[in-house]
Amino acid sequence: MPELPEVETTLRGLKRHIINQKIQSVIVRFPKLRWPIPENLTKILPGKKLLTLKRRGKYLLFEFTHGTLILHLGMSGRLYIVKDPISFNKHDHVDIQFSNGKTLRFTDPRRFGCVLWANHGETHPLLSKLGPEPLSKTFTAEYLWRKTRNKKIAIKNLIMDAQIVVGVGNIYAAEALFASGINPTKPSLKVTRSDCGKLVNAIKAVLQKAIKKGGTTLRDFANADGKPGYFKQELLVYSREKQACLRCGASLVCRKIGQRSTVYCRSCQK
């Protein structure tokens, strides 16, 4: 499900419900996610006030005085304020109840998501190697150009590598490459300096537009209040295999690149 815009949408929607609120209790129904949920979580959180809620890449960071709860939505995770906390379903793995009566629920059928903890002052290993935020000033044409040198991997794989730049997943990588006219299969080292500039701008633009629309709901993404995102109707290539390119009319093709389906236009993307 979630790439940067969906995680950002989740974050923005959650804030007004839970910021500065004290945790009353934590219920872990099923601790086996990508990594086990720390056993002591139900003990170290109650009574603590949530100070800030941040995003780093696709990770959500819940900060307390004594440490940070780190949460990733994986492929199918959802995080939302639940209306009726008494009832729950098969994949409702974690509930965090706040003293204002709101319950934050983490639901994740495929369990590729994770809930972790880092003590105050420590950086979790998963976060320490992440590349720059795509919407920050440090993500520039010059930066991407340097990273593309001497690399044979397809440019699409490169921009989906969180050590290069965070937050770009399968949907927005395809969209950004279409917008910048670059063939996703092109080896990184063959991408020109000028194209790196176009690509960086396209990544920033598509992510910003998607955030404005509340993210992309393909199947089950929902924001903190259970509402879908509306960027799906703006998608120009993703999931449009065999349909007409909206720029030139040619039939869009689909190829596997690094195990992931990739739709693009062979005449617009060189």
**Segment interacting with DNA, rule: CB under 7 A, options 20-28, 36-44, 47-55, 165-173:** 165-173
What whole-number distance in Å separates Cα of residue 141 and Cα of residue 224? Answer: 34
Q: CB of 136 within 8 A of CB of 191?
A: no
Kindly state the helix (H) or strand (E) to which residue 18 belongs, with its residue range: helix 4-18
**Cβ-Cβ contacts under 8 Å for 264 (sequence gap 6 or more):** 174, 177, 178, 183, 184, 237, 252, 253, 255
Out of 64, 112, 143, 230, point to the residue binding DNA (CB under 7 A): 112
Single out the catalytic residue among 5, 6, 8, 58. 58
Output the smallest distance, CB 97 to DNA, in A.
24
According to the binding rule CB under 7 A, does residue 67 interact with DNA?
A: no
According to the binding rule CB under 7 A, does residue 52 interact with DNA?
A: no
Write a three-state SS string for 129-149: CCCCCCCCCCCCHHHHHHHHC
Q: Is 58 a catalytic residue?
A: yes
According to the binding rule CB under 7 A, does residue 53 interact with DNA?
A: no
Provide the 10 A C-beta neighbour count for residue 120.
10
According to the binding rule CB under 7 A, does residue 58 interact with DNA?
A: yes
Q: Is 2 a catalytic residue?
A: yes
According to the binding rule CB under 7 A, does residue 135 interact with DNA?
A: no
Cβ-based burial of 109 (10 A; exposed 0-12, middle 13-18, buried ≥19): middle
According to the binding rule CB under 7 A, does residue 153 interact with DNA?
A: yes
According to the binding rule CB under 7 A, does residue 157 interact with DNA?
A: yes
Out of 37, 79, 115, 154, point to the residue binding DNA (CB under 7 A): 154
| Smaller CB separation from DNA, 137 or 152 | 152
Residues 180-239 that bind DNA (CB under 7 A): 188, 215-221
| Smaller CB separation from DNA, 58 or 198 | 58
What whole-number distance in Å separates Cα of residue 43 and Cα of residue 251? Answer: 56
DSSP code string of 201-248: HHHHHHHHHHHHTT-B-SSS---TTSPPPB-GGG-SSTT-TTSBPTTT
Output the smallest distance, CB 87 to DNA, in A.
16
Provide the 10 A C-beta neighbour count for residue 1.
25
Active site residues: 2-3, 58, 260
Binding site for DNA (CB under 7 A): 1-3, 6, 32, 34, 57-58, 72, 74-76, 90-91, 109-112, 126, 150-154, 157, 160, 162, 169-171, 188, 215-221, 258-261
